[in-house]
């Protein structure tokens, strides 16, 4: 019996990481983007990620990765068993992609938005069948972090939840289902903490390194909030904070000037070679 095809739309950091996870667990992936260069980089990143995941024991022993196919044509998702939207955290972008995906796939196909904070019920207006829509929040790198936040919208069908939980279990993830709200659980707690950490640095209270060291040593944060920001992508973090601020009005969600300055300078984190830390030597 052939394994079900998983379609992933968006070949950025998250789409690439999720693709690595899925093919590494033996399910074929068609990865869609609008830029051929982005797809070529994604294919290389998936190959590197698979080697990393195998070295760290993050894939089933003796497993053979499934096929990764890249394409510029969204029409290639039509026969997918599940579609994961992983484009940038901008409502207008997600709306365009989800509307197009919804028009192409068969009724009953689970449509997963990998979102860090936009409410699923808000997105439901962008698809033909709101019952097919559900949210996930994979952590980066998706192929190493085993837990996934799953967001059930008010209109999400039971069958969609069951299908997605089954798929996540099949690829070795531990799903936790939460109710719909701006930021859900992880972003609502993590993103303002990172924003506060940036404010502490801006105020001159402590250096970037000292903030992360204290959070690791005193409070058990595995990487520190500012190194985490570099891993998320500071531009992605700013987009997510702005989405939260617009929906909650909470000033802790308003992106700090230091984060905005990093984006203006192109210092986006690990993916650009520099963020709060310098990665250019490690990547050369």
Report helix, strand or coil for 58: coil
**Beta strand residue intervals within the chain, DSSP E:** 6-9, 29-32, 68-71, 82-85, 111-114, 133-138, 147-152, 174-179
CA dihedral 108, 135, 11, 259 (to 10 degrees): 160
Angle at 42 between CA 53 and CA 84, to 5 degrees: 85
Do 84 and 30 touch, CB atoms closer than 8 A? no
Q: Which of 60, 208, 75 is nearest to 146 (CA)?
A: 60
* Cα–Cα distance for residue pair 45/39, rounded to 1 Å: 10
Do 151 and 125 touch, CB atoms closer than 8 A? no
Question: Is 52 one of the catalytic residues?
Answer: no
Report helix, strand or coil for 263: helix
Q: What is the residue whose two structure tokens read 């303002």? A: 192
Of 25, 137, 191, 253, catalytic: 137
Alpha-carbon distances, residue 83 vs 58, 71, 120, 253 (angstroms): 23, 14, 15, 30
Maximum Cα–Cα distance for the chain, whole Å? 60
Catalytic residues: 137
């Amino acid at each position: 019996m052939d394994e079900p095809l998983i379609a992933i739309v968006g070949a950025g950091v998250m789409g690439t990481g999720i693709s690595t996870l899925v093919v590494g667990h033996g399910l074929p992936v068609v990865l869609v983007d609008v830029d051929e260069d982005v797809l070529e980089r994604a294919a290389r990143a998936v190959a590197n990620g698979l080697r990393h995941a195998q070295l760290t024991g993050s894939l089933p022993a003796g497993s053979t990765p499934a096929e990764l196919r890249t394409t510029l044509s969204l029409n290639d998702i039509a026969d997918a068993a599940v579609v994961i939207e992983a484009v940038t955290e901008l409502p207008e972008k997600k709306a365009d992609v989800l509307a197009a995906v919804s028009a192409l796939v068969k009724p009953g196909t689970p449509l997963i938005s990998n979102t860090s904070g936009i409410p699923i019920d808000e997105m439901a207006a962008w698809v033909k069948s709101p019952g097919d829509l559900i949210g996930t929040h994979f952590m980066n790198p998706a192929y190493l972090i085993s837990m996934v936040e799953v967001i059930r919208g008010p209109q999400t069908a039971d069958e969609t939840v069951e299908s997605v939980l089954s798929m996540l279990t099949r690829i070795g993830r531990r799903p936790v289902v939460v109710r719909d709200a701006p930021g859900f659980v992880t972003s609502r707690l993590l993103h303002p903490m990172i924003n506060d950490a940036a404010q502490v640095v801006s105020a001159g209270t402590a250096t970037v390194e000292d903030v992360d060291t204290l959070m690791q040593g005193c409070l058990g944060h595995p990487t520190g909030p500012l190194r985490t920001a570099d891993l998320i992508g500071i531009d992605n973090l700013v987009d997510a904070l702005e989405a939260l601020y617009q929906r909650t009005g909470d000033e802790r969600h308003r992106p700090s000037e230091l984060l905005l300055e990093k984006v203006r300078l192109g210092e986006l984190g690990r993916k650009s070679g520099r963020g709060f830390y310098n990665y250019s030597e490690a990547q050369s």
